[in-house]
C-alpha cells in the first residue's frame, strides 16, 4: 500500500490548492491503463469506508467497492472508455481510460492515481517505475 501513502501525501499537498482549481466544476480525468486507483479526501481527511460505484457509459454497473481506512480504492481489468465514478459523501466524476497513455517515450508503463479532493478537484498523477 505504498502507493496509498504516496497518494495521501499528494492529496494533502493539493488540498490547500483545491479552492484554486481553474474550474471548480471539474469532475473528470483521463488516465491510461486498465486500473483505477484512487484516493478520496474530504475536509483535508481521507474519506474512510465510503461506498464507491463505477458505471459503464451505458449506465450499467461495472464495479462496486468501498474506500479503505486511508480513503483509497482500486478497480482493475477495465476496458478503455468512459466511466462514471460515484463516491458516497464526495460526489461524481467521469474517468476516461485511454490506452494511448499506456507508455512513456522511454517505453515504460506508468501507473495512474486519481485524487478526489473536497468536492472541488479531480487530479491524476502518473507514476513511472
Q: In CATH, what number is assigned to the domain containing residue 76?
A: 2.60.40.10
In this predicted structure, what is the pLDDT of residue 4? 43
User: How many domains does the structure of the chain reveal?
Assistant: 1
In this predicted structure, what is the pLDDT of residue 103? 72
> Tens place of pLDDT for every residue, the chain, 129 residues?
444 444 444 444 444 443 444 554 566 888 888 999 999 999 899 999 999 999 999 999 999 999 999 999 999 999 999 999 999 999 888 899 998 887 767 777 778 888 888 866 677 776 665
d(CA 35, CA 43) in angstroms, rounded, equals 26
Residue range of the domain that includes 121: 2-127
Which pairing describes strands 51-56 and 121-127: parallel, antiparallel, or unpaired? Answer: unpaired
C-alpha cell at 8: 495521501
Residue 40 burial (CB < 10 Å; 0-12/13-18/19+)?
Answer: buried
Q: What is the pTM of this model?
A: 0.74
Amino acid at each position: 500500500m505504498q502507493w496509498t501513502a504516496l497518494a495521501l501525501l499528494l492529496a494533502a499537498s493539493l488540498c490547500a490548492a483545491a479552492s484554486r482549481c481553474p474550474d471548480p466544476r471539474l469532475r473528470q480525468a483521463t488516465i491510461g491503463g486498465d486500473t483505477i486507483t484512487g484516493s478520496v479526501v474530504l475536509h483535508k481527511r481521507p474519506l474512510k469506508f465510503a461506498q464507491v460505484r463505477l458505471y459503464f457509459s451505458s449506465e450499467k454497473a461495472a464495479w462496486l467497492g468501498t474506500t479503505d481506512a486511508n480513503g483509497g480504492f482500486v478497480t482493475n481489468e477495465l476496458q478503455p472508455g468512459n466511466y462514471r465514478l460515484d463516491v458516497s459523501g464526495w460526489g461524481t466524476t467521469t474517468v476516461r481510460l485511454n490506452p494511448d497513455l499506456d507508455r512513456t517515450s522511454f517505453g515504460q508503463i506508468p501507473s495512474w492515481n486519481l485524487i478526489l479532493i473536497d468536492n472541488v478537484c479531480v487530479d491524476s498523477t502518473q507514476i513511472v517505475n
